[in-house]
Amino acid sequence: MSQTIQEKRVSREQASYFIGKAVTTTNEAEMKGEGVISGQWASYYQDGVFERIPNKKHAGTLAIYTDYQSGETGPYTFALGAEVSAVEEVPQGMKAYSIPASDYVVFTTRTGPVQEIVVEAWQYIWEWSKTNKRAFKTDFELYDDRCADPDNSQVDIYISVK
């Protein structure tokens, strides 16, 4: 296995808006195989969620982690969708979120099978979190044109920091 994280940098991101389908889960449930994230991805593609989102700013999918109730151990909201320029028009079954301006550390995964590289990156981030201060505002994963081939993908994960 090659190095999980190829790059790490701090990036100041401006506030933005997001529309997508949301569920609540915990890291414990996800790691025990009782989670909802994989099912959320399946319905995202089956239901054509991305195609139904109005006012998209770019062609990338965002996976956001927000509404943290108690850091990485408690429930949080996981949503799949897109960054948008306006949230006045939200399709049925979807929610709009404001992603606050924040400082982020950006973790770039190795290139590989998407399910593998994202899990590896989060394991790395959880270790990194033991010695760094996460803000637990809104974190997100960017799935852009580097993810066209699910067996040969690369993802950026933005972690909000204090």
121: which 2 tokens? Answer: 């990156």
User: Which residue bears the tokens 């990338």?
Assistant: 60
CA distance 102 to 152: 30
Domain count for the chain: 1
* 124: Cα separation from own chain's centroid: 15
pTM, 2 dp:
0.92
Q: Residue 26's domain spans which residues?
A: 5-161
Residues 6+ apart with CB under 8 A from 60: 82, 83, 142, 143, 144, 145
What pLDDT does 2 receive?
A: 47
Residues 6+ apart with CB under 8 A from 45: none
- Tens digit of pLDDT at every position of the chain (162 positions): 445 676 687 888 889 999 999 999 999 999 899 999 999 999 999 999 999 999 999 999 999 999 999 998 999 999 999 999 999 999 999 999 999 999 999 999 999 999 999 999 999 999 999 999 999 999 999 999 999 999 999 999 999 999
126: which 2 tokens? Answer: 């959880």
What pLDDT does 12 receive?
A: 84
What pLDDT does 5 receive?
A: 75
Instruction: Give DSSP secondary structure letters for 12-53.
Output: EE--EEEEEEEEEE-HHHHHTT--SHHHHHHHHHHTTHHHH-
